[in-house]
Amino acid sequence: MQKNVDLYFVDGCGRCSLHATPACKVHTWAEELQLLRGIMLNAGLIETIKWGCPCYVNQDNKNIAMVVAFKQYASINFFKGMLMKDPHNLLQVSGENAQAAKHLKFTSPQQVIDQQSIIAEYIQEAIELESSGAKIEFKQKHELEFPQELLDKFEQDPAFREKFMALTPGRQRGYNLHFTGAKQSATRTARIEKFVPKIMKGLGFHD
C-alpha cells in the first residue's frame, strides 16, 4: 500500500495489480486530482496519506476528507458526509449500506474548475462539522461491537464490507477479537489491512 502522498499522484494507492503502471486510475484523472489537491490545501488542511490515498486532516489531526481516483471518476470523500447539508444536491453515497461518508464526483478538469467555489464551501462545512464534535450515529444490526477502524474500512470499501458481513458469525467474531485486541488505532488499522485478502476470499482468521 502506498505510504508516500506525492507518489500516490504518480503510482496510485498500491492496493491492486495496476499500481505503478500506465493503467492505474490516477493517470486517467491526473489533472482532476491535482486540482482537487490544490483546493484541499488552499482550505488550510494538512495533507497526509491513509489507506494508501491522500487524506486531509485539520490541525487536531482529525479526518476531514480524502481525494481518491476510481475507475469512472475522481472524487472527494467526506468522512462525515451524512451530516452535511448538501445545499446543491451534489453529495452521493458510496453504497446502500453507507452510514457516514458521502462524496463529490468529478469527470473533467473543467467540472472541478466550475465548481471550485462550491467545493470550497463543502470543505469548510466539513471542517466546521468536525470542529463541532458532531458524531455519526452508526446503526449496527449485529451483535458484535466493531472498532471504529473497521467501520471506517466498511465506508471506504463497500465490497470489503459485503465480504466481511457474508462471513459466518464465528469468523466475524474471530476477526473482530483480533482487531479489537490492539490498543493502538494504527495497530488495529494495520491488522485489518493485513487480513483484507483472506476476508475477500471468504476465509476465516484461522483458515
The pLDDT tens digits for 36-67 are 999 999 999 999 999 899 999 999 999 999 99
How many C-alpha atoms does 80 have within 13 Å on its Cβ side? 22
Which pTM was predicted? 0.68
29 close to 112: Cβ distance less than 8 angstroms? no
Final residue belonging to a domain, choices 131, 159, 185: 131
Q: What does DSSP assign to residue 53? A: E
Which helix (H) or strand (E) segment is 110 a member of?
Answer: helix 109-114
Based on the fold, state whether residues 127 and 178 are members of the same structural domain: no
Same domain, 36 and 94: yes
Whether 14 contacts 27, CB under 8 Å: no
Q: How far apart are CA 80 and CA 102, in angstroms?
A: 7
SS3 91: coil
- Backbone phi, then psi, for 98, in 5-degree steps? -65, 135
Tally helices (H) and strands (E) across the chain.
Answer: 9, 5
139 within some domain: no
Nearest partner of 81 among 71, 69, 67, 91, judged by Cα: 91
Residue 108 lies in a domain: yes
Contact partners, residue 23, CB within 8 Å, separation at least 6: none
- Report the distance separating Cα 119 and Cα 177, nearest Å: 40
In a domain, 153, yes or no: yes
127 and 161 assigned to the same domain: no
Answer yes or no: do 96 and 169 share one domain.
Answer: no
How many distinct structural domains can be found in the chain?
2
Distance (Å, rounded) from C-alpha 183 to C-alpha 34? 36
User: In which domain, by residue range, is 116 found?
Assistant: 5-131
- Asked if residue 100 and residue 17 are part of one domain, the reply reads yes
Would you give per-residue pLDDT tens digits along the chain (207 residues)?
Answer: 889 999 999 999 988 889 999 999 999 999 999 999 999 999 999 999 998 999 999 999 999 999 999 999 999 999 999 999 999 999 998 765 567 889 999 999 999 999 999 999 999 999 999 999 988 876 655 567 889 999 999 989 988 998 999 898 888 888 998 998 888 999 999 999 999 999 999 998 877
